[in-house]
């Protein structure tokens, strides 16, 4: 590991460049004045409910597109088309045939990267620095799972003698039709994380994007057709969770569901799917913590933590909402944090210099305000109050950052708040910090900040989270599972690792005995 000599001032929040949408995005969204249809079995399907959803720019409330909402009939149709494609040939494709199509899709994605950037920036509300970073995930995820699939065992294992006249072996095959239910905060990344392993395992897929951000999934479906995927292999069904999502989770023909979203919805999906035996893996929200040790430079670490807290304005699943700082560095850390958050440039996400853009929809401000009020009622003092922010000329959902200071041992924000919201607490020791950090039902990602890498690793291993980090946060890498514990995730192998491909495959035991005659 190389040591870097960063100065505090080197560390800045993710920042926007000016962004204007390409014509291809505008034309795609305009769609001749008609709502964008779903793509089912290679056809554009307007939906039997005759309902459409406005897809907005949260920074201006401008309607970017209208998208048709899919109902029960379309979920049924997608399952049917998926099985037709599966049994009609997709099941028998080789890994190399699937790899060629997946990599062609990536090539087309890169050709039209500006359209996807427009989806992330204008519809998702992200600043360009972060949105650009998301784009690289698509190729990395595709190439990673092509590599894993090339080494995976499909079909029959070597038979072993299991009885006097009996052999046994395993048979590994795809589930058939699987669904991915995706949230709004990282639509391109999370669609890729579902789509690449599910397709490389040999399944036909149904993507249910968030009703807030359905555009990139629909554009992926358009590119899939151009790439040459057979009709029915990739189906995209936009709609609200309580309708389209619910119908998916209640459909017995879908053999596996990969859900990413909030714990409450994940629990509901698990219950619904369990009634008919559909397996479910869930990657859900967090309430991340960071421990600042007494040997850390409080100013440097405050800015590093601040950058991570403000990644997508705190709308990142494992964002840090709780900081425990040892007393000797606490006051300096708090002061430096205040400086960082006060400096954040609040503005439209498509304007150069913006660092804190809009939250995704009209419901989020209420939820965030409730989180702030709850923490204050439990004894937290506001260093930075949060609350609505005005951005001249932009009628969007803008909020100021919130920095709270709370008494040692108080559990002031037990739930994910999902904004640039951080509650800092003084602690007497690292062990005490660990105890407080683990006093939560969540378990996605936490970090410890120290010069002592031995101590850091010891602490990182004791978090009750799926991911423990030393001097970094919001970290993911192909080959290392990203998976929550507690109400943040499971079961399943997590994303982006060898076990992920296994999640999309079923293993059957086959026994063969000689004929008893």
For the annotated catalytic residues, the residue numbers are 283, 317
| Total interface residues for ligand NAD by CB under 6 A | 31
210 exposure class (CB count in 10 Å sphere: 0-12, 13-18, 19+): buried
Name the minimum Å distance from CB 154 to ligand NAD.
Answer: 27
- The alpha-carbon radius of gyration of the chain (Å, integer) is 24
By C-beta, is 268 or 382 nearer to ligand NAD? 268
| Distance, CA of 82 to CA of 139 (rounded, Å) | 25
Contacts of 53 (CB under 8 A, 6+ apart): 66, 67, 68, 69, 211, 214, 238, 239, 240
Q: Which two tokens stand for residue 78?
A: 């997608």
Comparing CB distances to ligand NAD, the nearer of 284 and 325 is 284
The two tokens of residue 19 are 């962004």
Crossing angle of helices 187-200 and 95-111, in 10° steps, is 160
CA proximity to 98, closest of 203, 196, 200? 200
Nearer to ligand NAD, 321 or 405 (CB): 321
**Considering only residues 59, 261, 386, 492, which one is a binding residue for ligand NAD as defined by CB under 6 A?**
261
Q: Which of 269, 273, 291, 399 binds ligand NAD (CB under 6 A)?
A: 269
Select from 38, 185, 216, 235 the one that contacts ligand NAD (CB under 6 A): 185
Report if residue 57 touches ligand NAD, rule: CB under 6 A. Answer: no
Q: Does 241 bind ligand NAD (CB under 6 A)?
A: yes
Alpha-carbon separation of residue 222 from 42, 97, 109, 119, 227 (angstroms): 9, 20, 10, 14, 9
- Which CB sits closer to ligand NAD, 138 or 383? 138
Residue 358 in contact with ligand NAD, rule: CB under 6 A: no
Window 140 to 169, contacts with ligand NAD (CB under 6 A): none
Q: What 3-state class would DSSP assign to 178?
A: strand
Contacts of residue 156, defined as CB under 8 A and 6 or more positions apart, other chains included, come to 169, 170, 171, 510
Instruction: Name the segment binding ligand NAD (CB under 6 A); options: 114-122, 171-179, 243-251, 294-302.
Output: 243-251
Q: Report the residue number, 220 or 330, with the smaller CB distance to ligand NAD.
A: 220
Verify binding: residue 486, ligand NAD, rule CB under 6 A: no
Beta carbon of residue 365, minimum distance to ligand NAD (angstroms, whole number): 14
Site for ligand NAD, residues 276 to 335, rule: CB under 6 A: 283-286, 317
With CB under 6 A as the contact rule, which of the stretches 245-253, 376-384, 405-413, 422-430 interacts with ligand NAD? 245-253
Task: For residues 156 and 173, give the distance between their C-alpha atoms in angstroms, rounded to a whole number.
Answer: 9
- Based on the shown chain and the rule CB under 6 A, indicate whether residue 246 belongs to the binding site for ligand NAD: yes
Distances (CA, A) of 159 to 164, 174, 197: 14, 20, 27
Identify which range of 23-31, 100-108, 157-165, 261-269 contacts ligand NAD by CB under 6 A: 261-269
Does residue 124 touch ligand NAD according to CB under 6 A?
no
Q: β-pairing, 445-449 with 467-470?
A: parallel
Residue 249, interface with ligand NAD (CB under 6 A)?
A: yes
Q: From CA 256, how far away is CA 192, in angstroms rounded?
A: 17
> Of the ranges 103-111, 239-247, 329-337, 420-428, which one interacts with ligand NAD (CB under 6 A)?
239-247
Bridge-partner residues for 170, per DSSP?
Answer: 509
DSSP-assigned states of every residue in 467-493:
EEEES--S--BTTB-B---GGGB-SS-
Among 69, 211, 299, 478, binds ligand NAD (CB under 6 A): 211
Question: How far apart are CB 96 and ligand NAD at their closest, in Å?
Answer: 30
284 or 290, CB closer to ligand NAD? 284
Taking CB under 6 A as the binding criterion, the range among 59-67, 89-97, 207-215, 222-230 that sits at the site for ligand NAD is 207-215
**Inter-residue contact 214 to 19 (CB < 8 Å):** no
Mark the segment that binds ligand NAD (CB under 6 A) among 38-46, 100-108, 166-174, 184-192.
Answer: 184-192
Q: Quick check: helix, strand or coil at residue 44? A: strand
208 binds ligand NAD (CB under 6 A): yes
242, 370, 428, 514: which one contacts ligand NAD (CB under 6 A)?
A: 242
Would you count residue 265 as binding ligand NAD (CB under 6 A)? yes
Return the range that interacts with ligand NAD (CB under 6 A); candidates 132-140, 181-189, 296-304, 398-406.
181-189
CA 83 and chain centroid, separation: 27
* Closer to ligand NAD by Cβ: residue 338 or 364: 364
The residue (of 52 and 427) whose beta carbon lies closer to ligand NAD is: 52
Q: Which residues of 332-366 are buried (b: 16+ CB within 10 A; e: fewer)?
A: bbbebbbebbeebebbbbbbeebbbbbbbbeebbe
For residue 210, state whether it binds ligand NAD (rule: CB under 6 A): yes
Question: Rounded to whole angstroms, what are the CA distances from 349 to 144, 352, 442?
Answer: 31, 8, 30
Residues within the interface to ligand NAD (CB under 6 A): 181-186, 190, 208, 210-211, 240-242, 245-246, 249, 260-262, 265, 268-269, 283-286, 317, 416, 444, 484, 489
């Amino acid at each position: 590991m190389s040591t870097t000599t960063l100065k505090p001032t080197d560390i800045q929040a993710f920042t926007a460049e000016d962004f204007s949408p390409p014509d291809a995005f505008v034309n795609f969204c305009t769609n001749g004045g008609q709502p964008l249809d779903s793509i089912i079995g290679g056809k554009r399907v307007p939906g039997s409910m005759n309902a459409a959803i406005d897809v907005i720019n949260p920074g201006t409330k401008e309607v970017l597109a209208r998208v048709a909402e899919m109902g029960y009939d379309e979920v049924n149709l997608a399952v049917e088309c998926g099985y037709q494609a599966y049994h009609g040939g997709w099941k028998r494709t080789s890994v190399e045939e699937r790899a060629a199509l997946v990599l062609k899709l990536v090539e087309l994605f890169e050709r039209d990267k500006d359209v996807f950037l427009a989806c992330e920036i204008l519809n998702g509300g992200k600043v360009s620095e972060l949105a650009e970073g998301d784009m690289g995930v698509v190729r990395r995820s595709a190439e990673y799972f092509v590599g894993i699939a090339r080494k995976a065992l499909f079909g029959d294992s070597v038979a072993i003698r299991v009885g006097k006249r009996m052999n046994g072996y395993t048979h590994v095959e795809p589930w058939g039709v699987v669904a991915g239910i995706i949230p709004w905060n990282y639509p391109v990344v999370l669609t890729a994380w579902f789509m690449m392993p599910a397709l490389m395992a040999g399944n036909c897929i149904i993507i249910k994007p968030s009703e807030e951000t359905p555009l990139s999934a629909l554009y992926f479906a358009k590119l899939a057709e151009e790439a040459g995927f057979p009709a029915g292999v990739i189906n995209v069904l936009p709609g609200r969770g309580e309708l389209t999502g619910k119908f998916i989770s209640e459909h017995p023909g879908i053999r596996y569901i990969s859900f990413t979203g909030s714990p409450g919805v994940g629990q509901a999906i698990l219950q619904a799917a369990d009634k008919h035996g559909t397996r479910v893996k869930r990657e859900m929200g967090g309430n991340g913590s960071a421990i600042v040790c007494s040997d850390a430079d409080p100013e440097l670490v405050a800015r590093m933590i601040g950058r991570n807290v403000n990644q997508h304005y705190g709308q990142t699943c494992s964002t840090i909402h709780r900081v425990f700082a040892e007393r000797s560095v606490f006051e300096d850390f708090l002061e430096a944090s205040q400086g960082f958050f006060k400096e954040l440039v609040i503005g439209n996400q498509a304007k150069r210099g913006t660092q804190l853009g809009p939250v995704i929809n009209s419901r989020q401000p209420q939820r965030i305000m409730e989180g702030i009020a709850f923490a204050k009622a439990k004894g937290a003092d506001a260093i930075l109050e949060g609350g609505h922010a005005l951005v001249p000329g932009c009628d969007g959902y803008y909020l100021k950052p919130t920095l709270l200071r709370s008494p040692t041992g108080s559990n002031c924000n037990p739930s994910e708040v999902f904004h640039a919201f951080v509650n800092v607490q003084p602690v007497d020791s690292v062990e005490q910090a660990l105890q407080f950090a683990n006093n939560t039902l969540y378990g996605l990602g936490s970090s410890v900040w120290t010069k002592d890498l031995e101590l850091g690793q010891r602490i990182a291993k004791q978090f009750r989270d799926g991911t423990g980090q030393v001097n970094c946060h919001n970290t993911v890498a192909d080959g290392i599972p990203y998976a929550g514990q507690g109400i943040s995730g499971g079961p399943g192998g997590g994303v982006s690792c060898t076990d992920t491909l296994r999640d999309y495959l079923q293993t059957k035991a086959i026994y063969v005995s000689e004929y008893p005659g």
